[in-house]
A and B are shown apart, each in its own frame.
Chain A
Amino acid sequence: MTGKLTLTSPADLLAYIPHLLGGTPTESFIVLTASAGALGATLRVDAPMDTAPLGFAQTVTSLAAQDENATACYLVVYTDETGDDARFPYAAHVAALGKELVTARMPVRKVYLVTSTHWAAYGSTERNPLEQITDSNANATLTFMGSAPNVDVYNPALLGKWVEPVQVPVRTEESVQEARREWDTALEAPGMPDHETTRKLAAWFQDTYIRDFLMADIITTNNGVIIDIILGKFDGRPDWKRVDHAETIAFELMKAVPEGQRAPMLTLMGWLQWLKGHGKHAERYLKLAVEDVHGYRFAELLYDLIGSVYIAEVAKNQETAYKRPTS
């Protein structure tokens, strides 16, 4: 996206959110931070299930406070769980969050509610049609700038059903080096690797030890420290084009193997999504990985980590965070 976008109405603001998150949220709380007339970070968390209001509010506020420049914020509740009083879903959580955000010096300017049938100012009797959001100036402008609210590399319809399994290679020092060389070549080259290379790479990804190296090698600004790599703490802004390319190749590798061998690539895609700040997309890939190989340890562990409200270090800083490419 290039140029300056001016949001002049609530519908504009609500249209902006899917473009930032790569999809329209459901059952979520969104905090949009703001300062001096400009919007800052966008935070999305799952709507609270059994979490007490105060604990929920404190956690969400501490996450929103990652934007150190914020002096105010907007809160949007996406839900169809509107309960007895449809105007005030999650009333206790919204109230607690409002108090915590004031304490953190980023008071809530407005609260909005979005359901699958309408949107409204929170607490009002309005039932505004969702078309106001899709027909808004902001949505038209963002779309014209090349942004798409729904971008997804993963398309299960493209995955073959009758594909030969790959043979898991014998691991030697030489094979580890060969795998890393071939992977780097694929990441550097435009387009997709040929079929033979695709199958070889997919086979190497089956080995957990080699897989780890291949994942780490995507980030050329990694500092070589394993804990930092997995948590997204890098020596500068990653080459996000290389990361996007890795994600596309990972899906290509999935097409070259049958069910039961796709979990390593799905886990990789989940990790990359998380690095980009897209925890919800990451969760989806990790669930698919565990469906593909029951008990796939890496996917289960990453799922638990991401579910523990971790934000990748690289995603916290605007200078290093991912920017979605425009078409």
Chain B
Amino acid sequence: MGTEYTLTEDDKPTPGASFLEDVIELQLLTANESLGPVDFTHPQEHHDF
């Protein structure tokens, strides 16, 4: 709580502004080919096979 977040611009937020949306939009410019969502999990404890 109380973290000061680093924004790319220092202007006042406009109505409907979303810094998270803006960042994702930029990220998508260099995104991979769409193959659908991926699940990636690790063993909960030690599992042998």
A interface residues (Cβ-Cβ under 8 A, vs B): 1-8, 12-13, 16, 20-21, 34, 37-46, 48, 51, 55-56, 59, 63, 66, 74, 147, 171, 180-181, 184, 208-209, 211-213, 215-217, 220, 222, 224-227, 229-231, 274, 277-280, 282-283, 297-298, 301-302, 304-311, 315-316, 318, 321-324
Interface string of B1-36 (1 = CB under 8 A from A): 111111110000101111111011111100111111
| Contact, CB under 8 Å: B46 / A298 | no
| Contact, CB under 8 Å: A38 / B46 | yes
| Contact, CB under 8 Å: A59 / B48 | no
- Chain A-chain B contacts (Cβ-Cβ < 8 Å), number: 198
Those 9 A-B pairs whose CB atoms lie nearest each other, nearest first: A279-B37, A46-B36, A44-B39, A308-B31, A184-B1, A7-B49, A208-B18, A301-B24, A1-B44
Interface residues in B, total, Cβ within 8 A: 41
CB nearest neighbor in A for B31: A308
| Bound: A27/B25 CA distance, A | 29
| Bound: A66/B39 CA distance, A | 12
Contact pick for B44, options A55, A209, A306, A324, CB 8 Å: A324
| Contact, CB under 8 Å: B49 / A59 | no
Give every chain A residue within 8 A of B16 (Cβ-Cβ): 208-209
| Contact, CB under 8 Å: B27 / A305 | yes
User: Contacts A5-B45, A310-B38; is A211 near B18 (CB within 8 Å)?
Assistant: yes
